Structure 1
Amino acid sequence: MRLIVLLGLVSLFSDITYEGARGILGPYLGLLGASALAVGFVAGLGELLGYGLRLLSGWFADKSRAHWSVAAVGYVVNLLSVPTLALTGSWHQAAVLVALERTGKAIRTPSRDTILSCAASGGRRGLGFGIHEALDQIGAVIGPLAVGWVMKLGGSYRDAFALLGIPAVLALFALWTARRSYPHAIEPEGRDALRTEKGFPKGFWLYMIPMGLIGAGFPDFALIGYHLGKTAIVPVHLIPYLYALAMGVDALCALAFGWLFDKKGVKVMALSAAGSALCLPLAFSHNTGLLALG
């Protein structure tokens, strides 16, 4: 259980770092001269790297059995890219760091999840992942709130990014502590957990196709934040607050829809996707109330 809590703290401080940055990334890129097209491209490329490269990093970690080392490399790249944004002078430089941050997340996530799965074995998987997800979501709310607080006090974007270096260092320290305390977290108990079956059932692909289409239709918050910054619908310091609100709602809805899924099955997912799609245009509204709802 101690390892689960340590990994949860890693995710808590990590989410404070990069979710805090995501709350102001869009308007910051706009300030550096990026167009809406450029912001959308940077955010989209980052997500492509952040998810696509997991196939490669997960395969490498399983083959090498160096899950701790792979996770450590990923966390270093992922976390240190964020405060480095404070040193950028053009949106092109910032775009490179955004790509590096997402690449780091792609490198570390499969290994982190493998270690967590092994740590939560023995009938504690639900509790283990529940604790981890709770700490993860707390960080996702605290990060944007902290950044908004800095901006409200008159700090600049660079001040906010630099401040996020503190939770980044704390996350790396928690990871080092976990690695030092449990160097063989996936050995030997975790060997069975690493075995996989070849191929995926037909239902998997029937699920992935609509999920891919949904992902293609939803803009990253960086683009929404860019829109808010350019139109000045809300003060700049409120933009990360809106992102924190979205993260909080995400956490609550995850609990609610998870409970409904157990009761009603897969049709609940269709309901949630439809609801999100209908609300999405409101995020680009010029009305503050509708914008917050979106």
Structure 2
Amino acid sequence: MDVVSDAIAAVRVGQPSANRVRVTGRWCTRLPSYEGAGFRVVLAGSCWLLPDEGPAFALRAGDAVRLPHGAGHLLADAPVDAARAAAAVPFDRWLETHELPLVAPDTAGGPPAVELMCGKYRLDRSLAHPLLAELPDVVHLPSGDGRHPELRAAIDLLGREAGAGQPGAGVAVPGLLDLLLVYLVRAWMADGATTGTARWPAALDDPVVATALRLLHGDPAHPWTAAHLAARAGVSRATLARRFTALVGRPPMAYLSWWRMNRAAALLRESRDPLETIARRVGYGSPYALSHAFHRTFGVTPGRYRSGAA
């Protein structure tokens, strides 16, 4: 797997959840902060997203917003003052009167309305990759700017599938939500690479660092050494160490140790493989060696971690 795929797979827990809502008139709802990443897609109409911290965002049909760190926020028909914000209806209660079927035929009619897809992905933040941690609290991807055509296509498909009631929509919509997550991350990385405001897009654009990352992610169990990795990347050890550390934030071997622990934790959470098998898969010679390193990193034994994640 590539680095972005690994970063997403490591933290994802279960399936994404989504709600399709339609509302008219004056409205305001609050979504509290949560452990996960959220997204909002405007399928029709326009509205405002007002984070608990930071500037407000005017949204129109086709806009997508990603909240990578589960930041609390308001959704409303217009900017709100303090009194209206305090009276905002909690989102769960708001859904009771404004939610539409996600994949059943849409029979709602009436005046022009705002229609939204509001969803979230559950994340295990203890396994968060620094690539995802670098994302800002709110990533706004407006429609009509001519960029990220694959993201626009995913949003269009999601809008068509949601409420269409077509055969297979129950599978198509969750699949499109997964695709939307990947495209949102890609779009942020492309914008970050263009503006120079993010470190990880630069890391993946650097041929030496990208090669080293691809090798480490492709085979974390390999007995890598700094010299071997540098030779495969086509540079000296000193050059690799300097460029890798500057762009990734830690030396290559330190990154490998961290990634092996990340993979071990994910395998403990997702599989019932014995510790000996997991140790081999992440590059440790024995369950004891893995257990010692795991406890040093997470503060618990692999067995306790697995029982807590079950």
Interval containing the TM-score (normalised by the shorter chain) = under 0.3
Choose between structure 1 and 2 for higher RCO, CA contacts under 8 A separated by at least 6 residues. Answer: 1
TM-score normalised according to structure 2 size? 0.26
As a proportion of its length, which structure holds more strand? 2
Larger Rg: 1 or 2? 2
- The structure that is helix-richer by fraction is 1
TM-score of the two chains, using structure 1 as the length reference: 0.27
